Amino acid sequence: MTIAAPEPEERVFLEPRWPIAVTLGFFITVSIVLRVAVPHRSSLGPDWLVPAVEIGLLIVLLAADPARVSGRRRWLRRLAIALVSLLGCAALTSTVKLIVDLVEGTKVTNSASDLLASGAVIWLGNVLVFSLFYWLLDSGGPLARYYGEHPYPDFAFTQQMSPEIAPPGWRPQYLDYLILALTTSTAFSPTDVMPMAWWAKLTMALQSLISLTVVGLVIARAVNVFA
């Protein structure tokens, strides 16, 4: 079955990949700077492992441009999901390690600045991972959204619920999912985007719980250290 190409007037909505490049590049830089500034901070595997996965993910996402990718190259999406899942495991492991460090009172948790820096990078890492999950899985992913393969979205954005306020053919792009992940980690609940599918609801609930745990424990410990 051949997928029909979008109409020419819809090509103005091609999704640029520079927001993903900037976001991943920023997080890679922050991670490397933190590893240098806080060398005794616990990490998953060798220091180069997580940045290497992030760089590999960036290359895959840039290669899987929905304007050029064909059906037989959908393996790029599967590879991207696998890499994001690996980053998700790293982020979850880092969160658990931070909680253990807080309980045991390690060197990092006895310094307010080191603790806040470690907590901030873990919090940002969770925002990044969940934003990529939302972007890759919603309505079948970027390629499926580009071709309009799914009649019902997994996330209902304001522009989809009120199409009269959006241009014709509007579809969410990565920045929309980045804001979704950011607001979920700060408000601990949906804001202007409603989860419709069960996996979307469960994933947002998991992100809220992780963010609440990290923010609550880090701030509580930092206050005690300052005091």
- pLDDT tens digit sequence for 163-180: 888 888 888 999 999 999
Most confident of 87-96, 99-108, 161-170: 161-170
pLDDT tens by residue, 17-68 = 778 888 888 878 777 776 666 555 555 555 666 677 777 777 776 666 554 4
pTM: 0.81
Residue 194 has phi, psi (to 5 degrees) of -100, 125
Measured in whole angstroms, the distance separating CA 76 from the mean position of its chain's CA atoms is 18
What are the residues whose beta carbons fall under 8 Å from the beta carbon of 101, sequence distance 6 or more? 42, 108, 109
Q: Where do the structural domains in the chain lie, given as residue ranges?
A: 16-226
What count of residues does the chain have? 227
CA atoms of 166 and 145, how far apart (whole Å): 16
DSSP lists the bridge partners of residue 194 as 156
**Does position 151 have pLDDT exceeding 80, yes or no?**
yes
Q: Indicate the helix (H) or strand (E) that contains 156.
A: strand 155-156
pLDDT value for 47: 63
Q: Are the CB atoms for 22 and 41 separated by under 8 Å?
A: no
What are the residues whose beta carbons fall under 8 Å from the beta carbon of 76, sequence distance 6 or more? 60, 63, 64, 69
